[in-house]
Amino acid sequence: MPASSQLAALRRLRSSVDAGIASIGELKNLIPVLVQLLGGNGTRTYLIEQVNPAELRAGGGFIGSFSILVADRGNLEVTRSEGSEAVDYPRASLGRPGYVAPPQPWPQFIGDASWDLADSNFFPDFPRDAQAAEMFLSKEAGIKADGVISLDPGGIATVLKVIGPITIPGYDLTVSAANFAELVFQYENSSNSPLGRKRFLAAAAVPLIRAVMALPTSRWPALIAALNEAATARHLQAFFNDETAEAVMNRYGWSGILNSPANADFLLETESNATGSKANHFLERTYDLQLSALPGRIHHKLLVQLNNNTPATGVEGSSQYRCYVRFYVPATATEVRLGPIEADNSPNPDRPAGLAMADGWLWIHPELGNRTWTLTFEYDTPSDPAQVQHTIYWQKQPGTEPDRLKVTWSFGGRSFTTSGQLSQDQVVTLTKNGVTVRGGEPATAHMPAVTI
């Protein structure tokens, strides 16, 4: 064998050995976490939120139903699965025992009613939502959770690609990846849906977990890949009380954190449906981000066009879309403006570290012939003219489908345009010669390879 071929073979061997050693090290670090999560050193109880993105909330969607998943020495069992109203009602009112004050300005929607489990997805940072949900589960149902997993119909459909069709008990219905999300909507949100419609997602939890448990080990990498896909698109979020396990969720991109990189430009828009309608299933949303270079700063102008195509009949609730809107940008942003928007009755004091926020309410009335609303959001961020490039991390709201976006960059008398979809977090990169948009940080969990 020529010396050059021997050298190439040795390099490949070294690379394989290095990869194998790294995988062994990773597996060594993961084993204690997996043992902890699967109840190897004590029973663990998890709250599974089945969120409804047709009634969008900042944390992904209204929590219409939930399941309790118990892990005991590697065995997973759903011990309870029902609508959230089973524990939320009767709701306490202001001044009555059991009342929990909602975060501001949510009382503008729920009035004097107590905050509860179904509405706990208020924050854009999932660990905060999860901790609120755990508090309500303990208060309302007497169940102490060790973690929370949020999964919407799109995320479940992604898992069904791997485990295959499942039959929903009590419905005489087999669902698959292709039809699951639409069937959930029809059963849970149609005004003509069958009796027990609010239990559809809850009923799906038992056969889903059983199918996952029955999956052969050869399919585990495919399952992890599907969960990565769901987490990347923010249809899956996971939080664990154990700090080591939660650190792993952060590292793998499953935690649903407010992902504002340090010292970077950042953008996140969230909408919280405050009508009780299912308008988000029919809503079309497009983004037009216009960026221009000014002395020492970059001016951002974001146009968000909302088209409410909800039909007048056939859907639970009204066709209106009233929502609480928040825009998050770096704390260094100046000249922050948002309109047209209705101001909060009580200001939202919550400002996550390193971020500024603009917020307000809008109301689209299709029954009055008004189906559209265009928000204009503007702000400036510092920019060093000597820098070769400027990046903006654009975070996707959980529960949303891919929204169309266009980015225009004006620099040095020239204009550059690109387009894409907010199917996951995006990174907008500005240079002196153009603009690009690419996918942001993906979920990266995997089964460590221990063969060399």
Q: What sign does the dihedral 202-232-180-206 (CA atoms) show? A: negative
Element of type H or E holding 139? helix 126-141
Long-range contacts of 411-414 (CB under 8 A, 24+ apart): 411/292, 411/293, 412/293
Mean pLDDT of 310-321: 88
pLDDT for 449 equals 53
Q: What is the DSSP string of 169-232?
A: TTTTEEE-TTTHHHHHHHHHHBTTPPTTGGGHHHHHHHHHHHHHHTS-GGGHHHHHHHHHHHHH
Q: Residue 3: which pLDDT band, with cuts at 50, 70 and 90?
A: low
Q: Residue 181: which pLDDT band, with cuts at 50, 70 and 90?
A: very high
Element of type H or E holding 435? strand 434-439
CB atoms within 10 A of CB 281: 19
Mean pLDDT of 79-93: 94
Quote the tokens at residue 224.
């992890």
CATH number 3.10.20.80 is the correct assignment for the domain at 44-252: no
Choice among 144-148, 173-177, 196-200 with the minimum mean pLDDT? 196-200
Buried b (16+ CB within 10 A) or exposed e, 166-195: bebeebeeebebeebbebbbbbbbeeebee
C-alpha angle 246-60-141 in degrees, rounded to nearest 5? 70
**Residue linked to tokens 């825009």:** 327
pLDDT for 20 equals 46
How many Å is the Cα radius of gyration of the chain?
A: 24
pLDDT for 315 equals 85
Q: Residue 17: which pLDDT band, with cuts at 50, 70 and 90?
A: very low
pTM above 0.85, yes or no: yes
* Phi-psi label, residue 196: left if phi above 0, alpha if psi -120 to 50, beta otherwise: left
Choice among 30-44, 158-172, 332-346, 385-399 with the minimum mean pLDDT? 30-44
pLDDT for 15 equals 55
Per residue in 376-405, pLDDT (tens digit) is: 999 999 998 777 799 999 999 999 999 999
Q: Residue 408: which pLDDT band, with cuts at 50, 70 and 90?
A: very high
pLDDT for 439 equals 96
- Across the strands, what pairs with 95? none
Amino acid residing at 318? S
Inter-axis angle of helices 153-163 and 180-189, to 10 degrees? 140
CB atoms within 10 A of CB 305: 14
pLDDT for 26 equals 53
Mean pLDDT of 116-128: 97
Percent of the chain at pLDDT > 90 equals 75
Q: What sign does the dihedral 81-85-88-89 (CA atoms) show? A: negative
Average pLDDT over the chain reads 90
pLDDT surpasses 50 at 262: yes
Choice among 257-271, 362-376, 426-440 with the minimum mean pLDDT? 257-271
pLDDT surpasses 60 at 52: yes
Q: Residue 452: which pLDDT band, with cuts at 50, 70 and 90?
A: very low
* Phi-psi label, residue 412: left if phi above 0, alpha if psi -120 to 50, beta otherwise: left
pLDDT surpasses 50 at 69: yes
Asked if residues 258 and 395 have their Cβ atoms less than 8 Å apart, the reply is yes
Spatial distance between the Cα atoms of 254 and 248, rounded to a whole number of angstroms? 9
Q: Residue 28: which pLDDT band, with cuts at 50, 70 and 90?
A: low
Secondary structure E strands in 348-398: 355-364, 372-382, 389-395
pLDDT for 22 equals 46
Percent of the chain at pLDDT > 70 equals 89
pLDDT surpasses 70 at 12: no
Per residue in 208-233, pLDDT (tens digit) is: 999 998 999 889 889 999 999 999 99
Q: What is the DSSP string of 246-271?
A: HHHHHHHT-S------TTSEEEEEEE
**Residue linked to tokens 């495919």:** 222
Spatial distance between the Cα atoms of 331 and 354, rounded to a whole number of angstroms? 5
pLDDT surpasses 80 at 372: yes
Per residue in 110-120, pLDDT (tens digit) is: 999 999 999 99
pLDDT surpasses 90 at 7: no
Question: Where do the domains of the chain lie?
Answer: 44-252, 265-439
Spatial distance between the Cα atoms of 271 and 88, rounded to a whole number of angstroms? 23
pLDDT surpasses 60 at 451: no
Spatial distance between the Cα atoms of 136 and 133, rounded to a whole number of angstroms? 5
Could you tell me how far CA 388 lies from the centroid of its own chain? 32
